Amino acid sequence: MRTRPTLTWEPQGDLPPASTDLSAVVAAVRAGGVVVLSGAGLSTESGIPDYRGEHGAFRRNHVPMTYQEFIGSEDARRRYWARSQLGRRSMAGARPNTGHRAVAALAEAGLVTGVITQNVDGLQQAAGAPNVVELHGTLGRVICLDCGAAYDRATLDERLRRANPGFEETAARHRAARVNPDGDVDLPDEAVSGFRTVACTACGTGVLKPDVVFFGENVPPERVAVCRSLIDGATTVLVLGSSLTVMSGLRFVRQAAQSGTPVLIVNQGPTRGDRLATRVDLPLDRALTDVARQVLPPS
């Protein structure tokens, strides 16, 4: 029995009402010095579901891998890599959406000075945004937990294909399975029981892990320090598509609020930061396209 990590949040008492008026966001972006904190909601229009939204992974009873489970069980690692091997097909085919492109355009114009993304899909960088900090790492890289060697995910993909020549046939029966925000898909046990993992080629025996921060794992302190520095230098913090349920993102909203820096949130549904911010409840792609249209000169 897999244990679901504690990932839900329920508001206590009444929250400040949300708005559908983008004028505060437009004014803040026009003034510049904005640091964006983005979450899974920014990638839903690219076909990658969020965790907690109406059609999110948790609504489908998805239980994400935890760090403790991954390092403590060979069976867990087999399950993760088998599911990730199939999920990678969908992740690799995802493309930046209008929201990603709007953030990139605002950054190129110098109005957004930094992006802290909680997403591991690489889509914000693919859209061309500079100065992106991947708070939770990236699915595009693999690391060895023993020797620290790093690999491109595509390199591991080829090794796993060779080690599991029959997996494509098995995976084909589940090709329509929906990808999760953490890059895997839900597969039955019989589909992964014979999957073979591979070891690090640098040290020969090391355990390979995606270079992402699993639930239950800490964000590297040096990465947190970079994010804190960005927040310290921000004129406004703009949260996009995040419920701020987990502390890794919420702490930066709290940091900004404590220093008197305005926090604006664009998210459909309440967030854990609503009492510290002004929230606009609109679909992100539409909202960001509208903001970019009002702020940027015509191309």
Which pTM value belongs to this model? 0.88
User: According to the model, what pLDDT value does residue 91 have?
Assistant: 75
| 37 φ/ψ angles, rounded to the nearest 5 degrees | -115, 110
Could you give the percent of the chain with pLDDT greater than 70?
86
CA 118 to chain CA centroid, nearest Å: 4
Q: Is residue 52 scored above 80 in pLDDT?
A: no
Average model confidence (pLDDT) across the chain? 88
* 144 annotated as a binding-site residue: yes
Residue 241 labeled ligand binder: yes
Taking a C-beta distance cutoff of 8 angstroms, is the pair 50, 39 a contact?
A: yes
Instruction: Check: CB of residue 74 under 8 Å from CB of residue 102.
Output: no
284 in a labelled binding site: yes
% residues pLDDT > 90 (the chain): 71
Beta carbons of 98 and 104 less than 8 angstroms apart: no
Burial class for 20, CB neighbours closer than 10 Å (0-12, 13-18, 19+): exposed
Distance of CA 137 to the CA centre of its chain: 8
Tokens of 7: 């990932």
Q: Is the per-residue pLDDT at 234 higher than 50?
A: yes
CB 64 within 8 A of CB 84: no
Nearest to 278 by CA among 262, 290, 258: 262
Give 17-48+96-136+218-299's CATH code, choosing from 3.90.280.10, 3.30.390.50, 1.10.3720.10, 3.40.50.1220: 3.40.50.1220
Nearest alpha-carbon partner for 117 in 95, 132, 102: 132
What does the pLDDT read at residue 34? Answer: 98
Q: Is 227 helix (H, G, I), strand (E, B) or coil?
A: helix
What integer pLDDT is reported at residue 189 of this predicted model? 74
**What distance in Å separates the CA atoms of residue 196 and residue 185, rounded to the nearest whole number?**
17
Establish whether 242 is an annotated binding residue.
yes
CATH number of this structure's domain 61-93+140-170+179-212, picked from the four choices 3.40.50.300, 3.30.1600.10, 3.20.10.10, 3.30.43.10: 3.30.1600.10
Please name which of 173, 182, 199, 202 lies closest in space to residue 78, comparing C-alpha atoms: 199
Domain ranges in the chain? Answer: 17-48+96-136+218-299, 61-93+140-170+179-212
pLDDT of 69 higher than 70: yes
Confidence category of residue 93, pLDDT binned at 50, 70, 90: confident
3-class secondary structure, 212 = strand
Is 203 known as a binding-site position? yes
Q: Answer yes or no: 136 catalytic.
A: yes
* Catalytic residue chosen out of the listed positions 55, 100, 136, 174: 136
**Predicted local confidence at residue 10, as pLDDT:** 73
**Ligand-binding site membership of 227 (annotated):** no
Closest CA to 203 of 154, 161, 143, 155: 143
d(CA 76, CA 78): 5
Judged against a pLDDT cut of 80, whether residue 50 lies above it is answered with no
pLDDT digits (tens, 9 = 90+) for 166-224: 887 776 666 555 666 665 666 777 778 889 999 999 999 999 999 999 988 999 999 99
Residue 55: per-residue pLDDT? 43
Higher pLDDT, 53 or 21: 21
Under the banding of pLDDT at 50, 70 and 90, the label for residue 3 is very low
- pLDDT recorded at residue 259: 98
Q: Rounded distance, CA 108 to CA 125, Å?
A: 12
In 3D space, the residue among 202, 212, 259, 205 whose CA is nearest the CA of residue 231 turns out to be 259
